[in-house]
Chain A
Amino acid sequence: MPDPTPTQAPTTTWFASPDDAVARLGEVGYLADTATGTVGFLAGALEKPLLVEGPAGVGKTELAKAVARAAGADLVRLQCYEGLDEARALYEWNYKKQLLRIQSSKDDQAWSETHDDIFTEEFLLTRPLLTAIRREEPTVLLIDEVDKTDVEVEGLLLEVLSDFAVTIPELGTVAATRRPFVVLTSNASRELSEAVKRRCLYLHLDYPDAEREREIVLSQVPELEEKVAGQLVAAVGRLRELELKKAPSIAESVDWARTLVALEIGDLDDAAIDRTLGVVLKHSSDTDRAVRELRLRA
């Protein structure tokens, strides 16, 4: 069995300081606040997984991608969903291929030989968690939307994220030679287990303040006039104050900006808001409510 502890672990310096994190994320188009910069720096420096929680569309997934861009690392992504299991998350034996090998093996071959043959690298299907651990290059491992999995998967994550090592009974233990930068995201549709939370650094991402949102929108849609950007961000702010089923997120602000540019709307007054509200609000009950409360059709 190979030695699970690598002799010399190459370390990656992800960010030099919290300020460096903010600056370098900014260079690759991700506008981070102090909290995000600090936590991003710490996740790299302490080699601890980072759990990012918050409503949909506030930049949780994008943060992981931006870290990869900023550090010149590759992104390995595990998208979670209900029913995700070890075979999809970690590894699986390609048993169709194994079966074909057994059937085609010569009669005189001993079973033990065949057995040794079919539990080798060739028959192993690696999934994102194992892939990320085995990579020798700097890697960002994004475990996206953890709250969508079943609770058992958290146990698996906990194991992998504690030691950054995976034991495959037939092959031995595979330990990371270089720890990936791990980002877990959650929309908090359910509470994650205390154990997972204890293991991670925690960042709650929320809707940005008006100034930062304006910067984000303008950086993504530079064709938008500054004045309209201000109006748009103010309107989005008002919408978020209403009790909506799905409050508009940064993604919706950006979509809205693109729409306004495409429609050549140079002044976002009530009539223009009313006309384009469908881009921002996804539920008709929300649209009704917004029209009513903001008195768009006065």
Chain B
Amino acid sequence: MTGSGLLQRHLSFLEALRGAGLPVSLAEDLDAVAALGAVGWHDRETVRETYAATLVKRLGHRPTFDTLFDLWFPRMIGGGVAEQGRAAADETSSEPTSRDNAAALADLRERLSAALTSGDEQALAALAAEALGRFGAMPGRGPGLSSWSAYTALQRVSPADLVGRVAQGLVDGGLDGEAAERRAGGRVGDFTRRVEDDARRRIAEEKGAEHVADVAVRPSLDRLDLTTARRADLDELRREIYPLARRLASRLTQEQHARRRGPLDVRRTVRASMSTGGVPLVTHHKPRRPHRTELVVLCDVSGSVASFARFTLMLVFALREQFTNVRAFTFVDTVHEVTHHFTPGGDLADTMTALAADTDKAATWGRTHYGRALSRFASEHGDAVTSRSSLLVLGDARSNHGDLALDVVRDLAGTARHAHWLNPERRRHWDTGDSAASAYGAIVPMVECRNLAQLTEFVHDLAR
């Protein structure tokens, strides 16, 4: 790495990655330097892939990495060549044109519609930069300073309104209606993202990439707050959950796995030793006893934890593929068994839809009432919890100041082989307001579980 400028940039880029939650080790830092030495700096995409190959070892970290890479190694400076060309044209034209006027807007939308229809990536990149340059410029805080707003630019250009036109264009090109609609929507989404990226890039030019990284980059997937996760984030989370569920399942059944072989099968071993003069060269073992652990999941699906509930139901679905014996219950103020929705080999989307429709049954009054729900559970489904069960409660322990039914919980936890409580609320909010976190936590070990990293940690700690 020659030139202290480049080294400086490299170091601060790695600092930003670490700040965003990517665990970049010193060894990996050195790998990146060696790798860049081998490929050189002349091609930006090669540099990107080289950094990615040496520093990013989890799929969930890739979006964060790409955002930060675009900030530290921007595609271009300022508005690029196109903008300078336009500025020159604006000056030479006879009419006094401002950069932002109705005609310019109509013209840009026209070109954008064409580029979205043809899917011309390069044109779209240039148009995103132009849209921001013309319609997203904001007066800055000092003379000669400006700022950039993707929000303003997107309000003016309003690419979402072009979906219909673009879809029609695609239909004319021979695509069927639904596919056209979907593709048009996808391309407009991509364009929106490009404008946002470009705004970050230009702000970074003025205020420094570090500033933007601090304020505008979404946290990497595993730090994402589950209670505020967006739909698209949840989709990505889902992909991360399957491996985790498999691990959780094997951790909860560890006892049987610790011994890889079953007990010695003496008869077979002795019989086999006959062919080797009575020397038992090969030992035979009885098959391992299949594990009998059952998992009972109680899931708070009230409004205060809606996003979290979606996530935990996904987790339960994934677990169902590992454990044959999973029973799942949802509750708000009463309790409702949802096990039958989790058919083995079933379809995740169907299951989530059915569950959503079914959550109504968990609420009679619509206000969370842990005490009532748990008592109901004990009286109606108490037989689900036995000495072979692992009990998992998922919820924020906010019970609208109702009775907590602590005795009931103590009974359940005492019967079960293990009991764990995952609380999606920040620990410092526990016991504030109507939270009964400590009261329940004293009976069932409670851990904060706000994001994938914490869930992973929980699964990991289960082994100890």
B54 at the interface (CB under 8 A from A): yes
For A39, list chain B residues within 8 Å (CB). 49, 53
Q: Which residues on A sit within 8 Å (CB–CB) of B62?
A: 204
Task: Please tell me if the beta carbons of B53 and A188 are within 8 angstroms of each other in the complex.
Answer: no
- Given known contacts A201-B54, A283-B345, is B243 in contact with A189 (CB within 8 Å)? yes
In the assembly, what is the distance between CA of A48 and CA of B27, in Å?
12
B260 pairs with A83, CB closer than 8 A: yes
B427 smallest CB distance to A (angstroms): 25
Known: A83-B260, A198-B25. A18 touches B46 (CB 8 A): yes
Q: Which residues of B contact A283 (CB under 8 A)?
A: 345
Q: Is the CB of B39 within 8 A of A42?
A: yes
Q: Is the CB of B347 within 8 A of A38?
A: no
A191 at the interface (CB under 8 A from B): yes
Q: Which of A109-117, A122-130, A132-140, A238-246 contacts B (4 or more CB under 8 A)?
A: A238-246
Contact (A198, B35) CB under 8 Å given A34-B45, A53-B59, A189-B243: no
Q: B405: shortest Cβ distance to chain A, in Å?
A: 37
- From residue A181, how far is it (CB to closest CB) to chain B in Å? 15
> Using Cβ atoms and an 8 Å threshold, which residues of chain A touch B244?
191
Min CB distance, B203 to chain A, in Å? 28
Given A96-B276, A201-B54, does the pair A234, B345 have CB atoms closer than 8 Å?
no
B247 interface residue per 8 A CB criterion? yes
Chain A hits for B45, CB < 8 A: 34
Is B53's CB under 8 angstroms from A201's CB?
yes
CB–CB A38/B281 < 8 A:
no
Is the Cβ of B53 less than 8 Å from the Cβ of A243?
no
- Please give the distance in Å from B319's CB to the nearest CB on chain A: 14
Dominant secondary structure of chain B at its interface with chain A: helix
A190: Cβ under 8 A from any B Cβ: yes
Asked if B56 is an interface residue, CB under 8 A from chain A, the answer is yes
For the complex, is A35 an interface residue (Cβ under 8 Å from B)? yes
Q: Is B446 an interface position by the 8 A CB rule?
A: no
Within 8 A of A (CB), among B43-98: 45-46, 49-50, 52-54, 56-59, 62
* Residue B337 at the chain A interface, CB threshold 8 Å: no
Contact (Cβ within 8 A) B54 A241: no
Q: With A42-B39, A243-B347, A285-B345 in contact, is A99–B53 under 8 Å at CB? A: no
Distance, CA A48 to CA B54, complexed state (A) = 10
A-contact 0/1 string along B367-402, CB 8 Å cutoff: 000000000000000000000000000000000000
A258 part of interface (Cβ distance < 8 Å): no
Option from B49, B281, B350 in Cβ contact (under 8 Å) with A95: B281
Chain B's closest residue to A43 (CB) is B53
Could you tell me if B243 and A46 are in contact, using CB atoms closer than 8 angstroms? no
Residue in chain A with minimal CB distance to B459 = A191
A160-209 residues with Cβ-Cβ distance < 8 A to B are 188-191, 194, 197-198, 200-204
Interface centre among A35, A203, A241, A244 (most CB of B within 10 A): A35
Is B243 in contact with A99, judged by CB distance below 8 angstroms?
A: no
Which residue of A35, A189, A242, A243 contacts B242 across the interface (Cβ within 8 Å)? A189
Which of these, B34, B50, B58, contacts A38 with CB under 8 Å? B50
One of A46, A83, A147, A200 near B38 (C-beta < 8 A): A46
Q: At the interface, yes or no: A256 with Cβ under 8 Å from chain B?
A: no
**Chain A nearest CB: distance from B171 CB in Å?**
14
* Chain A 280-295: CB-based contact to B (< 8 A → 1; otherwise 0): 0001011001000000
User: Is A30 part of the contact surface with B, judged by Cβ < 8 Å?
Assistant: no
B102 at the interface (CB under 8 A from A): no
Q: Residue-by-residue, is A52-70 near B (CB-CB < 8 Å gives 1, otherwise 0)?
A: 0100000000000000000
- Contact: B39 with A18, CB < 8 Å? yes
Is A228 an interface residue, CB under 8 A from the partner? no
A45 interfacial contact with B, CB 8 Å: yes
How distant is the Cα of A197 from the Cα of B23 in the complex, in angstroms? Answer: 11
Whether A285 pairs with B34 at a CB distance below 8 angstroms is no
A147 to B242, CA, bound (A): 13
Q: Are B281 and A42 in contact (CB under 8 A)?
A: no
Q: Are A245 and B260 in contact (CB under 8 A)?
A: no
Closest A-chain residue to B244, C-beta based?
A: A191
Residues of B near A204 (CB, < 8 A) are: 59, 62
Which residues of the other chain, A, contact B31 by a CB distance below 8 angstroms? 46, 48, 201
Taking A188-B243, A198-B28, A243-B349 as known contacts, 14 extra A-B pairs with beta carbons closer than 8 A to each other, sorted by chain A number, are A34-B49, A46-B31, A48-B31, A53-B59, A96-B281, A150-B260, A189-B246, A191-B58, A191-B244, A198-B27, A201-B31, A201-B54, A203-B53, A238-B179
Q: Which residues of B contact A (CB under 8 A)?
A: 23, 25, 27-28, 31, 34-35, 38-39, 45-46, 49-50, 52-54, 56-59, 62, 179, 182, 242-244, 246-247, 260, 276-277, 279, 281, 345-350, 456
Q: Which residues of A are in contact with B by a Cβ distance under 8 Å?
A: 17-18, 34-35, 38-39, 41-42, 45-46, 48, 51, 53, 83, 95-96, 99, 103, 147, 150, 188-191, 194, 197-198, 200-204, 234, 238, 241-245, 283, 285-286, 289
What are 7 sample pairs from A and B whose C-beta atoms fall under 8 A apart? A34-B46, A46-B35, A96-B276, A198-B57, A202-B52, A242-B349, A245-B348
